[in-house]
């Protein structure tokens, strides 16, 4: 009689275990529920103060304004004696350097002041500070399989994301706490076979306009754990 009972318990436990396995989309939904429980990101209108610390360089201090409903983005960044300002409002772009909008071609070329760069900053900041919600964007391909990985001594639920060619070519992995579903690490590769790319450790949290964002993002190379720098959200 004992053997059938044990078999029954095993089957029930196995069924429960399989029932608790999450798909990629289910994990993403739980992570978004943690970081943006009231759906505030899609109407985000706020200001971020970010200090970037890098080895052997002066800090870069940036003021970033994002207004998603109005399709407005602004960043003012200062390092040493140089201050750049980029504004992107829908399809319009304006640039200022050290407070002046009348910029010579020589100065623009020397400091890489272009609207292409303005849009790069817009996409960069709205993507990283909009995670994991940005993984719902069109063109993002979420793997249906959730992996379990141990990273820096902690076990995570890991989501793999790739992109349609028109959106991007990198492969990204997002690491979530298995209990809270907080995003604590992300990692990208341009060529995973070469172990290139970087990983980013997220520590501490702050809430801005109802969205939980990492206060610190520390960047490292995948290949040798070389330290690149840290972004600190004030």
Q: Give pLDDT tens digits along the chain (234 positions).
A: 454 444 444 444 433 333 358 999 999 999 999 999 999 999 999 999 999 999 999 999 999 999 999 999 999 999 999 999 999 999 999 999 999 999 999 999 999 999 999 999 999 999 999 999 999 999 999 999 999 999 999 999 999 999 998 888 999 999 999 999 999 999 999 999 999 999 999 999 999 999 999 999 999 999 999 999 999 998
Q: Does any domain span residue 121? A: yes
- Domain end marker among 79, 101, 129: 129
Spatial separation of the C-alpha atoms in residues 140 and 120, rounded to whole Å = 18
Q: Is the domain of 69 the same as that of 155?
A: no
CA 32, 72, 208, 184 dihedral sign is positive
Tell me the pTM. 0.88
Q: Is the domain of 36 the same as that of 115?
A: no
| Domain tally, the chain | 2
* 158 in Cβ contact with 176 (< 8 Å): yes
Structural domain of 33: 23-40+138-234
Measured at the alpha carbon of residue 16, what is the angle toward residues 11 and 20, in degrees to the nearest 5? 145
Q: Does any domain span residue 85? A: yes
Q: Does any domain span residue 15? A: no
Q: Is the domain of 91 the same as that of 199?
A: no
- Domain end marker among 129, 163, 181: 129
């Amino acid at each position: 009689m004992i053997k059938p009972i044990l078999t029954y318990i095993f089957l029930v436990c196995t069924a429960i275990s399989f029932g608790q396995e999450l798909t990629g989309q289910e994990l993403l939904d739980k992570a978004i529920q943690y970081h943006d429980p009231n759906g505030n990101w899609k109407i985000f209108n706020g200001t971020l103060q970010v200090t970037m610390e890098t080895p052997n360089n002066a800090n870069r201090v940036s003021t970033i304004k994002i207004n998603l409903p109005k399709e407005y983005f602004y960043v003012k960044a200062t390092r040493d004696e140089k201050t750049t300002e980029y504004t992107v409002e829908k399809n319009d772009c304006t640039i200022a350097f050290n407070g002046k909008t009348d910029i010579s071609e020589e100065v623009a070329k020397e400091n890489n002041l272009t609207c292409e760069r303005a849009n790069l900053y817009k996409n960069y900041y709205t993507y990283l500070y909009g995670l994991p919600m940005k993984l719902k964007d069109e063109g993002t391909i979420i793997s249906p399989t959730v992996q379990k990985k141990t990273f820096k001594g902690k076990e995570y639920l890991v989501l793999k994301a790739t992109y349609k060619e028109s959106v991007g070519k990198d492969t990204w992995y997002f690491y979530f706490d298995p209990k809270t579903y907080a995003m604590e690490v992300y990692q990208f590769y341009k060529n995973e076979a070469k172990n290139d790319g970087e990983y980013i450790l997220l520590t501490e949290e702050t809430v801005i306009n109802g969205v939980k964002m990492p206060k610190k993002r520390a960047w490292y190379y995948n290949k040798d754990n070389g330290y690149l720098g840290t972004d600190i959200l004030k």
